[in-house]
Amino acid sequence: MTMYSYRDEESGAYIEQVFAMGEAPETVEFDGITMKRDRQSEWAGRRPDTRADYSSIAIGCNPVQALEYTKNAHRHGCNGTHFDPDTGRAMWGSGSAGRAERKKYCRTFGYTDQDAGYSDPVPN
């Protein structure tokens, strides 16, 4: 069984459905909405985001919650953090500024970095 992606072009709503390989329909009905298959979403790294060099899938959220998570990060002073509305991936800028923002977000929300370097958030 394989995961396939579907999107409503009008609202941007996104779902994933499981079908046998090669048997995924081009459209599916979900809550009365006809959604079209989104092949681009099915590819790993589907949308390169040049705004961020630092990103995390683990800290990410469901794509429909991206705006809510971004606003929450900003309310807590993590203004350099945003969540990609297509993938839900947590994203920060590049270079030392991006690393500092990632570090600030991790400390603020209690996350740690398994690949931590000097002064990065680590488990206690």
pLDDT tens readout for residues 4-57: 888 888 777 778 888 898 899 999 998 788 899 988 777 754 444 444 578 888
Confidence of residue 123 (pLDDT cuts 50, 70, 90): low
* Cβ 98 vs Cβ 63: under 8 Å: no
Please, what is the average pLDDT of the chain? 82
Q: Which residues have a Cβ under 8 Å from the Cβ of 32 and sit 6 or more positions away?
A: none
**In terms of C-beta density within 10 A (0-12 exposed, 13-18 middle, 19 or more buried), how is residue 99 classed?**
middle
Distances (CA, A) of 121 to 7, 52, 72, 106, 110: 36, 19, 20, 7, 9
Can you tell me the distance from the alpha carbon of 32 to that of 11, in angstroms, rounded to the nearest whole number? 13
% of the chain beyond a pLDDT of 90: 27
Sheet of 2-7: strand order equals 14-19, 2-7, 33-37, 27-30
Instruction: Output the pLDDT for position 108.
Output: 93
Model pTM above 0.85? no
Instruction: Output the pLDDT for position 122.
Output: 67
Instruction: Output the pLDDT for position 63.
Output: 92
Confidence of residue 65 (pLDDT cuts 50, 70, 90): very high
In the predicted model, what is the mean pLDDT of residues 77-84? 91
Can you tell me the distance from the alpha carbon of 21 to that of 70, in angstroms, rounded to the nearest whole number? 35
Can you tell me the distance from the alpha carbon of 114 to that of 121, in angstroms, rounded to the nearest whole number? 9
